[in-house]
Amino acid sequence: MRRIVLAGTADTKAEELAFLRGLLSGGPGAVCLVDVGTRAPALLPDVSARVVAAHHPSGADAVLGGDDRGRAVSAMGLAFARWLGAQTDIAGVIGIGGGGGTSIVTAGMRGLAYGIPKIMVSTLASGDVGPYVGISDLIMMPAVTDLAGLNRLNRVILHNAAQAMLGMVQAPAPQGAGRPALGLTMFGVTTPCVTAITGLLRDRFDCMVFHATGTGGRTMEKLADSGLLAGFLDMTTTEVADLLCGGVLPATEDRFGAVARTGLPWVGSLGALDMVNFGAPDTVPARYAGRLLYRHNPQVTLMRTTPEECAQIGKWIAERLNLCAGPVHLLIPERGISALDVPGGAFHDPVADAALFSAVERELVRTASRRLTRLPLHINDPAFAAAAVAAFAETLP
């Protein structure tokens, strides 16, 4: 029988947890109350904090020993994530918390597969929830009042949260086989390329397009690690430029890691590596004074990458792709890598592009399954999209 996991700190949120457990118990399946507190509970849980803490790599005492609350919260978050990841019968996870509880419970939720219902009722849900949500599909629900005992308002909030969880568990999304899914990356300046590719492939594949904003690339690769993708058409690798040049939409050091780990077929390009993203113009770091900037909108300022930066970017990408044993085919669009990189365009710089292309070509170790092709095309030319589709078809068995 699949269980709804109800998580919170039973030392400080016992009344609210008991109320939620009663609401959830009216639905199908079992409710498993998990204590993630670091002090003696005021409510008997189904899974104690010590059992959860024992999943920490250094054991329970690394979580529950000592008086440093900040350290204990961080350690309990890691332990809860490991405990949750070890369960095989989860129908959904619902949590409540203030600052500490939210940090602990969402650390576990973020590690779960997409599609598993996840609701976090939190006093922090009306602020910047990025650190808690990450690239997951968890739902943050504002608690409105503090979770310091039940009142007429938070009873309604908790009731609604419970009913939302029960509804998702009782009516799960259908899991039909359907067409195999592909991960594609796109930016506004590479939209014509990716739109043309999806048009050519949508009758055979479920094309999942990710905005290359840092979180987009990470989400795509997490889906691959989860076994939900059949391959990549990674045309917009711009997040690497932000990583190496200090932009606000960076990849992590694990970019292309899922390609290496899964061995899935990868066809990609160098889309939008002519730019680094910042916020409003006054947010561009002082060290970049005098650089070529383009005001995309009042909130987004783009900076043209230099030949030196492009060489570094190309080397970094090639080194990561060299770790991939599966089919890899990198396509270089010699006539431009973004809508701004055209003759007369704001970022047209053949010297910088040449530095990027040469670095990739020099550093990429070619094998029977790891290929590089230079094409006398712009990335947004229809012929380039057709070439990418043809290259992907060649990677398939």
Last residue of a domain, one of 119, 138, 170: 170
pLDDT for the residue 68: 83
Give the C-alpha separation, 143 to 269, whole Å.
44
Note the pTM of the prediction, 2 decimals.
0.83
The answer to whether residues 49 and 96 belong to one domain is: yes
254 and 304 in a single domain? The answer is yes
Residue 176: predicted pLDDT: 57
- One domain for residues 115 and 201: no
Are 282 and 140 in the same domain? no
148 in the same domain as 186:
no
pLDDT given at position 347: 98
Same domain, 334 and 384: yes
Say what the pLDDT of residue 27 is.
Answer: 73
Domain finish residue from 170, 201, 222: 170
Helix, strand or coil for residue 118? Answer: strand
Same domain, 226 and 358: yes
> Residue 88: which CATH number?
3.40.50.12020
- Number of neighbours of residue 92 by Cβ within 10 angstroms: 23
Tell me if 333 is assigned to some domain: yes
The domain that contains 192 carries what CATH number? 3.40.50.12030
Domain presence at residue 300: yes
Residue 90 is assigned to a structural domain of this protein? yes
In a domain, 190, yes or no: yes
Residue span of the structural domain in which 61 resides: 3-170
Same domain assignment for residues 105 and 186? no
Number of folded domains in the chain? 2
Classified as helix, coil or strand, 50 is: helix
Residues 193 and 328 in one domain: yes
CA 219 to chain CA centroid, nearest Å:
3
- Does the pLDDT at position 156 exceed 70? yes
**What is the structure's pLDDT at 177?**
61
Q: Which amino acid is at 304?
A: R
Mean pLDDT of the chain: 95
Q: Supply φ then ψ for residue 267, to 5 degrees.
A: -120, 130
Neighbour order of strands in the sheet with 90-97: 30-35, 3-8, 90-97, 118-122, 139-142
Please identify, among 170, 190, 208, the residue that sits at the C-terminal boundary of a domain.
170
Instruction: Say how far apart CA 256 and CA 290 lie, in whole Å.
Output: 32
User: What's the whole-number mean pLDDT along residues 25-46?
Assistant: 90
Average pLDDT score over residue span 79-97: 96
Q: Are 390 and 324 in contact (CB under 8 A)?
A: no
pLDDT at 308: 98
Classify residue 175: in a domain, yes or no: no
- The string over 187-217, giving b where at least 16 C-beta atoms fall within 10 Å of a residue's C-beta and e elsewhere, is bebbebbbbbbbebbeeebebebbebbbbbb
Give domain status of residue 134, yes or no.
Answer: yes
Same domain, 162 and 209: no
Phi/psi at 333 (nearest 5 deg)?
-85, 100
- Identify whether residues 239 and 113 lie together within a single domain: no
Phi, psi torsion values for 149, nearest 5 degrees: 110, 160
Q: Indicate if 153 and 185 belong to the same structural domain.
A: no
Is the per-residue pLDDT at 67 higher than 80? no
Interval 254-279 mean pLDDT: 98
Residue 176 lies in a domain: no
In a domain, 12, yes or no: yes
